[in-house]
Amino acid sequence: MKKLHNSRGETLVEVLASILIASLSVALLFGCVMASAGMDREAQDLDRRHYEALTLAEERSGTGAAGTVRIENPANSQTKDLSVSIHGDAGLYSYKRTDP
């Protein structure tokens, strides 16, 4: 009778509960890893499409029109004008600094 009432180990229910908790934790971790991989793939695709459109805009306009960009620093009220060549049309613009 003493062997049947031994309380020194885990019961079957405790072991099954711990296995269930461990497998749920692994499943949640796997889901998070898959979601982050999907977001990374989407971000890389968006970056690629952005740079392709930007390259197309720069190639379409040839050498680019000359222009000036004014940079203002509100902290010390300084402004600086830079010479640039402007590329693109219809809402997609890019500019490149022409002076050193």
pLDDT at 22: 97
* Tokens coding 28: 């949640």
pLDDT at 38: 96
Counting residues of the chain whose pLDDT is more than 70, the rounded percentage is 77
pLDDT tens digit sequence for 28-67: 999 999 999 999 999 999 999 888 877 776 666 555 677 7
Q: Which residues contact 86 (CB under 8 A, 6 or more apart)?
A: 61, 64, 65, 66, 67, 93, 94, 95
Q: How far is CA 98 from CA 9, 84, 93, 94, in A?
A: 78, 5, 16, 13
Point out the least confidently predicted range of 6-10, 47-51, 96-100: 6-10
pLDDT tens digit sequence for 66-77: 777 788 888 888
